Structure 1
Amino acid sequence: MKVGIAGAGAAGLATAWLLEETHDTLVLEARDSIGGNLRSAHLPDGDTGSPAALDLGVQEVPRHLTAVAGEIAKALGMEGHWEQLPSERAVVCDGTPLARSSDNGSSGALRVTEDETLAAQELLASQAAEWARKDIAWTVPLAELVEPWDLPEHVRDQAVYALPASLFGCTRSDARGLSARAVGAFYADPGPDADARTYRLRGGMQALAWQLARQCRSARIVPGTAVRRVRRVNGRLEMTDSAGGRHPVDAVVLALPAEDARGVVGPLGGTGTLRRLLGAYDYNDLVYGVHSDPCYLPAARDRWAPTTLSLHGGWAETTTWRERSGGDVFVSQLTHRAEPPRCVLASTAFRTLLPTPAMLTAQAELLGLQGEGGLYFAGHLTAPVDDLDSVLGSAVAVARHLAPDSPRLSALVRAIGEEKR
């Protein structure tokens, strides 16, 4: 069987890696670089001159949420490449660090304190774990579960809604309408026996994408070439790429943003329901930059933290601080900042999916169309939680359909099962 895959992000590459021992696989990627949301900048260290990786996309993964990612990394020979990251978080409001204890706000605007922030986020962690345990519907909005909490309104806004606002690039007000379960998956207390520490791959998270591509020895991976359309010719699917090339295939895996997937399947007959469902996916633009000046951190260095959440206007944006021998560097969300950093070393833009109840309702229906007419979906199109493990898990789900006897799939499923036991 010949399988065409649209998108060389983590899901598309993992699908190709799982299928390549059993099928002839072609992967087309619109961007010049593979990896999707796995994007790493490699900048020389000022002292050593050696390139150091800084992640602008997926920056870290909690160990308790890496069953699939961890086993794939192990299969790729990267088991020992994980390094632990510090987890401390600070919050600044309009450039000012939070007061450590009660502060009524001299300007009349109430500001959350460090103590209130810690208590509110601990409450979110415990409640999110309870939502999962009770299997609360994915379509319940966050505000429906958070508003009844015995917290002042400004604490809910600045300590609770600010977290998903920064994660998904929306306002704190809009965060109220996101799926509680989808938000809670990122912040739920994993339990006393789980390793809740966060890790990244040395060499950057994009190294996982590169290693997947290297080990796809027979699959053809073509960056800089987008899929423009999928149509049926003489009873067989055909992908047309941005260079005009035509590729007859037996199955197509769409590992694309929904808006791109919607355009690709437009020429196919009978896809009205599919295009309607993909139209329910909403995205926000997010811009990340690497910079050398600590412009979004408190003036006093002893108030710096590995991750700082900046509240300004209705937004919440993060800055990650990385200490290097040649000098500090910072990775910040820049989308809504009033002033850019003085020295931007690298930047990139993303389209980030909003986990709204409407999107998750459409996604549940979309999953029922998996494989219909030879079309399959992977990545965040089918994952209710857009984290690395869920995205890679979507590739496993596609491989179960297309190549249930794949040796790599069988070994991975066995390994995941052993880990869960």
Structure 2
Amino acid sequence: MSFDALSSARQRIAIVGGGISGLATAWLLAKTHNVTLYEAAPRLGGHARTVIAGRNGDQPVDTGFIVFNYVNYPHLTSMFRDLDVPVVKSDMSFGASIGDGRVEYGLRDFGALVGQRRNITRPAFYRMVRDILRFNARAEQVATSDSVTIGELVNDLKLGDWFQRYYLMPICGAIWSTPPDEIRGFPAQSLVRFFRNHALLSASGQHQWWTVKGGSIEYVRRLTARLEQMGCQLRPGTPVRNVQRTPDGVRIHLPDGTQEAFDQVVMACHSDDSLRLLAQPTKDEQATLGAMRYQDNEMILHHDTAQMPQRRACWSSWVYKADKQDDRTTIGVTYWMNRLQNIDERDPLFVSLNPVKPVKSDLIYDQKTFRHPVFDTAALRAQSRIGDIQGQNNTWFAGAYLRHGFHEDGFASAVRVARGIEARERIPA
């Protein structure tokens, strides 16, 4: 996407946040404007986070953004081509291990589906497979508004208990890292959009998935080098204290008491962080940005095979686990990084989110807490109102929270901001 046709007057634009949304905004605007990007963390990239691990300490492993495809990530992959980012094919498959291995299966192939041999003789298992086909065929017809919940969708389609307990709730839990009890009240549209975007509703199967060779750090390195060549000022390790809007533009206040003046600002951080940083936010900003909830998710990079299904045949790229503890269902997700990033399986590597059982401490390489948006009904309604505050008081908002929470969604939000700035410049003074 080209923004070369912008007006000749270069504006001073501040970007707050150095994840994909902020970096993409800088990528789109730096050719035609004087851009300064602030990031509180010492590194840029946000959820594009690569850790060097493995038994020899030489294996790059992604712990946030891992995979993409060329169908549903058009903006991101266009930038990858421009930057000559090296990529390799990935494998995306789903599996589940529930009740300490009482029910296990994988969806990679028939062998994984019946990896637990008892599944062959379980009528309920065949009914679950039948319900999966029914859901894929009819879910979009039922989820026609954001008022329809996942629970209502299940009831309308008359989907059985096994489908709910051992397929739908596991996938929902894996997507949102949310307990099953809460998921039934989530908007069905969020679920259907995820399935559609990942080709899970398609009879022809998934899209081909890809991963960055050498880890996502490779694209971040190339992107930051290009931004610096374009004259963009990148300031990792520079937290913003607050953002003050004035009649003349915007002032960025830093912790050391200094101020820097800009014509416009793009808030490319989480919505709650944006609201916290804005001095004197408007009522509309408070209502929209404050409506979105976030959830902490513990990430552990490790080589503990106990986090995978008990039956090796059920091992999949993306494994949901659920166990009952004190009358409460705890859920977790484990990513098999060897399969996702083409790593030699003799050097087992896994990324677990909220593991249901502790990972053995001597098998841990890295730990971090990520914050993810919760896409409930309030969040969807807030997304629909974001246009009302875009560009007001010379302030714009970008972030993956404005759509589905994925890397492409952050980039798409940056495209909308850049287009908004472009359109405003074309209006005669």
TM over 0.5: yes
Structure 2 residue identity aligned to 1:159: Y
> Is 1:201 aligned with 2:212?
yes
Q: Report if the CA contact (8 A) 1:162-1:315 is conserved.
A: no
Per the alignment, residue 320 of structure 1 pairs with: 335
Deviations 1:167-216 (A, max 9, x none): 21211121122222222222223657886122211122343333222211
Q: Report if the CA contact (8 A) 2:13-2:262 is conserved.
A: yes
State the alpha-carbon separation in 2 of the partners of residues 83 and 116 from structure 1. Answer: 37
1:15 deviation in Å?
0.3
Per the alignment, residue 337 of structure 1 pairs with: 356
Q: Report if the CA contact (8 A) 2:330-2:356 is conserved.
A: no
Per the alignment, residue 96 of structure 2 pairs with: 91
1:243 deviation in Å?
3.7
Of residues 6, 11, 14 in structure 1, which corresponds to 2:16? Answer: 6
Change (3 A) 1:209 1:162: same
> Is 1:30 aligned with 2:40?
yes
Per the alignment, residue 43 of structure 1 pairs with: 53
1:254 deviation in Å?
0.7
Unaligned runs of 5+ in 1: 105-111, 407-421
Per the alignment, residue 293 of structure 1 pairs with: 304
Deviations 1:220-240 (A, max 9, x none): 111122222111346331011
Structure 2 residue identity aligned to 1:140: V
User: RMSD of aligned C-alpha atoms?
Assistant: 2.6
1:24 deviation in Å?
0.7
Task: Report matched runs for 1:234-383 at 5 Å.
Answer: 235-265=248-278, 267-268=279-280, 271-313=282-324, 314-323=329-338, 324-325=343-344, 326-333=346-353, 335=354, 337-342=356-361, 343-381=363-401, 383=402
Deviations 1:237-271 (A, max 9, x none): 10112343311111110111111111111x23x61
Change (3 A) 1:61 1:118: farther
Structure 1 residue identity aligned to 2:179: T
TM-score, normalised with respect to structure 1 = 0.84
Task: Report matched runs for 1:131-150 at 5 Å.
Answer: 136-150=144-158
Identity %: 21
Q: Report if the CA contact (8 A) 2:128-2:160 is conserved.
A: no
Per the alignment, residue 15 of structure 1 pairs with: 25
Where 1:318 maps in the other structure, the secondary structure is: strand
Deviations 1:270-294 (A, max 9, x none): 6122112211101111111111120
Q: Report if the CA contact (8 A) 1:38-1:57 is conserved.
A: yes
Where 2:420 maps in the other structure, the secondary structure is: helix
State the alpha-carbon separation in 2 of the partners of residues 6 and 327 from structure 1. Answer: 39
Q: Report if the CA contact (8 A) 1:17-1:213 is conserved.
A: no
State the alpha-carbon separation in 2 of the partners of residues 344 and 119 from structure 1. Answer: 40
> Is 1:76 aligned with 2:86?
no
State the alpha-carbon separation in 2 of the partners of residues 101 and 307 from structure 1. Answer: 22
Per the alignment, residue 169 of structure 2 pairs with: 161
TM-score, normalised with respect to structure 2 = 0.82
Where 1:227 maps in the other structure, the secondary structure is: coil
How many residues are treated as equivalent by the alignment? 386
Structure 2 residue identity aligned to 1:282: R
Per the alignment, residue 159 of structure 2 pairs with: 151
Where 1:242 maps in the other structure, the secondary structure is: coil
